[in-house]
A and B are shown apart, each in its own frame.
Chain A
């Protein structure tokens, strides 16, 4: 089974703090993603990485950065957390080309509250 592991399930941070969300996948997938999920808004793509040290901005990259130093690990960084970044963050991974049997898999999510 594919496993996408997000290291922190629940975090509470103060406004202005630097926040790291870590994600590890064990399937040697090329692609890794960070999404944000908010009620009524569905999943929105923050950043996407298609290879080590490669990244692309998603739909809502403002206030976030990412790091992919190793193929299995993709980190989401909030340089200065703000209350409007309170949300559930989902990491995902996939092979380069999506097809039946090669789909996108999600982690369990990280609930971040910024106070």
Chain B
């Protein structure tokens, strides 16, 4: 079956270091990807998105890289801070041009822990 998954369920980094969270997808038809941050007890918060016609997009302290050849997505967080501790998960949309977001599929997430 098709899936959106994450390479590691947990990731610990030192405060101030850069974090890299990975996501694999298997559907080559996916054309839109989103990264979310979810803090304990809260709803997912949009971080950054990228369309399949791009291979890199930057936001504030975050960069998303898309490698369509190997169907891999990564989220890089620069100078990780304690407030970055959360679950991060990716989502893929298989056909965002169809007018339906029904095709959105979510990964199960990676728990990022920032160590002092």
Contact = CB atoms under 8 A, between A and B. Distances in A.
Interface of A: 4, 6, 31, 33, 40-43, 45, 48, 50, 56, 58, 90, 94, 96-100, 103-109, 111
A100 B51 contact: yes
Contact of B101 (A33, A40, A43, A100): A33
Interface residues of B, number: 27
A50 B44 contact: no
Task: Give chain A's interface secondary structure class.
Answer: strand
B50 A100 contact: yes
Nearest to A48: B102
Interface of B: 32, 34, 36, 41-46, 49-51, 57, 89, 91, 93, 96-97, 99-102, 104, 106-109
Given A94-B101, A98-B32, A40 B44 contact: no
B51 A99 contact: yes
Given A97-B97, A98-B32, A99-B51, 6 more contacts: A48-B102, A98-B96, A99-B32, A100-B57, A104-B101, A105-B46
Given A33-B101, A56-B102, A90 B43 contact: yes
B75 to A, nearest CB: 15
A4 B43 CA distance: 10
B43 A104 contact: no
Nearest to A33: B101
